[in-house]
Structure 1
Amino acid sequence: MGTDEQYGVAVFRVLDGEPGASSVDVLRAIADGERRHRRVRLAGSAGVATAVLGVLAAGWLLPTGWRGPATPQTADSISAPPSAPPSAAAHLVCRAAQLPTPPGQPPKGVVSGADPSGRYLVGRTYPDNDHPSPVIWVDGTPHPVAIPGDDPGLVDVNASGTAVGISLVHDAFTSWVYTGGVVTQLKGGPAQVAAIDEHGTMVGSTAAGAVRWDSLGADPVPLPSPVPGWKTTARDIDQDGTILGTASRGAYENVAVLWHPDGRVETLPAPTGYGATSTDYRGTAIRGGYVLGKALYDWPGGKRFDGVVWNLRTGTVTSTPGLFNAVNGTGWIAGSSGLVIAPGKVALPGLSPADDARSTEVYTLSDDGTRLAGQVGGTPLPVVWTCTAG
């Protein structure tokens, strides 16, 4: 299963263990790699997190210190990505560089999303351990973003530098859009926005299920469930408008779902592994017609899981043991189990030889395969990996 099997299974249970409105603080549970898991729910569900710092009205516009894409300035420790992708895993060499945090802040930080080129990265840093600060990195330079509420963070960004994020307001998840230096709350009440595409379409979930926002200022559009009574969540959106998510009934009965631009709703075929067909597989990411998911299988003493890739062009389904979070338009996948370029696998180094490979978390993978980002260590430290043909 790899060196991080036990932790991976624990994370997977926490992240996807309950259907529908039940969720977790993704930015704390996965993206910051602190190995601390705290369950929170959307408004209207039981078990709401109690700590809320902000009491805010809808529609606030918050100016920040950054007013849009900056003139490209590559950080000293980060090389510009190569212009062409490497040819094969056997010849790929990746090196890690630590991302800076804003001036005056400690080095602790996490990366949770990126645009397809890897130029824009989003996540959060920690001026102190109890109050995270959302950040967007542009060519390696960090820019703080002021998002109201408790536990704020940015989760995704497109090639125009428009980012989306979440926070807790009145004990409920609230979704935000950051564009042109202004933060605006998305319409529709409590919701968790998960992704934004190059056209500005956003997807996410409310207590009632998966939704789509067609633009900033638009009301959320509910996405139908493929099975009546099953709860849905939306996780990602492809460049053609195809939305990926999960339909759930019970803690361990889940299926990956596609909402197509023409209105069709498709349940992806169940993957097989370990001598069984999975009845618990969820959609994680989509790019260029490749869908990444996670499949769970019963195993003596617990569960085992695979990263699953559905090729929508050919209909093929492939599985790789491990925990993966990102896929690009050529079908490469990356996560805490490394970078996989079928049939090979590339180990991602830490910032020093002493770094434990089990503390490496990867959340973004550029379209050309040359730029990955995430974090390493228990602190954790934000990192970008640059990969070239060796």
Structure 2
Amino acid sequence: MTVKTDDVGARALLGPMLDETVPPSKVEVSRLVAAGRSRVRVRRWAGISGAGALTAVALIGGSLLVQPNQPPAAALQTATSTAPSPATGSRPAPPAFPTSCTGRLLPVPGKTISSYISGGDPSGRYLVGGYATDTSGHRPVLWDNGNPVIIPAPGGDLVAIEVNDRGIVAGTTDKIGNGTVEQINWVYRDGRVSPLGEPATKPGTFIQVIDINSGGDILLDSRPRTGVDPNRGPGIWTAAGQGTFRPLADPGNLGELTASALDEDGTVVGRYLVGQGFEGERTLVWKADGQLTKPSPPAGYGPGGALRLVRGGFAVGYYQQPGKQPHEVNTVRRDLRTGIDTAIPALAGAGAVNAHGWVAGLIRESGQGQTPAITTGTQLIKLPLPAGAIASSDGVGAYHLSDDGRTVAGNVAVNRDYLGAAVWRCLP
């Protein structure tokens, strides 16, 4: 170390941003309807395209941050009023940015009809996602150096899955029976699945895994399925305390809270809602020492928008463009140590950030659909389609980027109906 397109339209595409009081949105894009009603947590990406026009964008394993109207690269790079993170010290120099990348489809279990990437570890060795062999939904899978390992998780359809650099996987699956749906949280370690227990102080409140860091701390979202309960909020199972639960500070009377991502030092980015849609979102940052802050939007943006990704003190999110439609947003990278915001106009959507602040996501090209890409903010490289993939505008994008920038993973279209998990190896 977060959809249905036809009958639910805007709600599906805005999934995690519109109404967090409902259960997590099902990942049921037109490409995946035939593969089952997957309910993978849309944590990292959320899709919008054009002024008022909604397109069929696959929300698999994350929230798509899309910016239909992109400003010049220098349009934003200013210090915010946000106090810097307590994490200090110089960062290591970034590696050389890639000049070429070669992609391939990841191997999958026999008879798989669709697969996707949800995330990976900072080294790029471990990748996680889901695969489907029929229309009953997706099951969790771990790729270790490209080799698939089926995770025998309880329940049925995959809801969320994350992995750290020790190959420890935390996830959530659905258990369906007698007309009810129960979400089960679990941990996969050393070839075995164990249930992720819940603290005695808040039994029955945690509905899914959000993130896991290298230390083994697991971020959980405890939002109620309906309504707003002030007694519930996100929290962390701390590995150092062998399962000690650390609730995140309650800001009090800010509406419903949602945790989005966990950094290595324990920093958490999230958001709260003061209304509907993008304009109703506000950012929260829980620092590593537990202090809660409410960062202001970048200069010239807002008030709506929130940070959703974090790695190495770099957070990435989206913010409103004043005077534009509420759903017209721009991707922004914030350095939590310095409070400096930088616009990332090259990408139409952001799916991952690494420890150097490089961002992975997608670009849109006229007549060619969506293309996975990575950028430093000033340098950009498009990722070529691997053999067996076809050009598409649904669901294609990069969802993981290793710290050294040499491994990128994401999703491509393998035919008219289904997506496939892919990995790219990049060279300077």
TM-score interval, normalised by the smaller of the two chains: 0.7 to 0.9
Cross-structure match for 1:328? 354
Q: Distance in 2 between matches of 1:365 and 1:20?
A: 31
Which of these residues, 418, 421, 424, is aligned with residue 379 of structure 1?
418
Which of these residues, 379, 402, 409, is aligned with residue 366 of structure 1?
402
Note closer, same or farther for the CA distance 1:11–1:306 as it changes in structure 2 (3 Å cut).
Answer: farther
Residue 382 of structure 1 and its aligned partner are, at CA, apart by 0.7
Q: Write the letter of the residue equivalent to 2:15.
A: V
Q: Distance in 1 between matches of 2:112 and 2:37?
A: 23
Instruction: Say whether 1:347 aligns with 2:382.
Output: yes
**SS where residue 344 of structure 2 aligns?**
strand
Instruction: Say whether 1:116 aligns with 2:122.
Output: yes
Which of these residues, 95, 98, 105, is aligned with residue 102 of structure 2?
95
Cross-structure match for 2:63? none
Cross-structure match for 1:244? 269
Note closer, same or farther for the CA distance 1:270–1:225 as it changes in structure 2 (3 Å cut).
Answer: farther
Which of these residues, 244, 263, 286, is aligned with residue 259 of structure 1?
286
Which of these residues, 188, 212, 225, is aligned with residue 178 of structure 1?
188
Aligned residues: percent identity? 29
Which of these residues, 277, 288, 298, is aligned with residue 271 of structure 1?
298
* Total equivalences in the alignment: 332
Q: Write the letter of the residue equivalent to 1:142.
A: P
Q: Deviations over 1:170-202 (max 9, x none)?
A: 423332111112212222324211111111111
Q: Write the letter of the residue equivalent to 2:210.
A: A
Cross-structure match for 1:19? 20
User: TM-score with structure 2 length normalisation?
Assistant: 0.70
Kindly indicate whether the alpha-carbon contact (under 8 Å) linking 1:15 and 1:23 is maintained by their aligned counterparts in 2: yes
Q: Distance in 2 between matches of 1:382 and 1:41?
A: 15
Matches within 5 A, 1:1-390: 13-20=14-21, 22-25=23-26, 28=27, 34=32, 87-88=96-97, 92-102=99-109, 104-106=110-112, 108-152=114-158, 155-169=161-175, 170-188=180-198, 189=204, 190-206=206-222, 207=224, 208-215=232-239, 218=243, 220-252=245-277, 253-272=280-299, 277-297=301-321, 303-321=327-345, 322-337=348-363, 338-352=373-387, 355-356=390-391, 358-359=393-394, 360-377=396-413, 378-389=417-428
More strand by share: 1
Note closer, same or farther for the CA distance 1:344–1:176 as it changes in structure 2 (3 Å cut).
Answer: same
Residue 220 of structure 1 and its aligned partner are, at CA, apart by 4.2
**SS where residue 243 of structure 2 aligns?**
coil
Where in structure 1 are there 5+ consecutive unaligned residues?
1-7, 43-83
RMSD of Structure 2 on Structure 1 (CA):
3.1
Q: Write the letter of the residue equivalent to 2:424.
A: W
Note closer, same or farther for the CA distance 1:354–1:153 as it changes in structure 2 (3 Å cut).
Answer: closer
Q: Write the letter of the residue equivalent to 1:100.
A: P
Note closer, same or farther for the CA distance 1:171–1:299 as it changes in structure 2 (3 Å cut).
Answer: farther
Residue 363 of structure 1 and its aligned partner are, at CA, apart by 0.9
Note closer, same or farther for the CA distance 1:33–1:155 as it changes in structure 2 (3 Å cut).
Answer: farther
Where in structure 2 are there 5+ consecutive unaligned residues?
1-8, 42-92, 199-203, 225-231, 364-372
Residue 326 of structure 1 and its aligned partner are, at CA, apart by 0.5
Bigger drift between 16-25 and 330-339 goes to: 16-25
Residue 10 of structure 1 and its aligned partner are, at CA, apart by 7.4
User: TM-score with structure 1 length normalisation?
Assistant: 0.76
Note closer, same or farther for the CA distance 1:246–1:12 as it changes in structure 2 (3 Å cut).
Answer: farther
Note closer, same or farther for the CA distance 1:212–1:304 as it changes in structure 2 (3 Å cut).
Answer: same
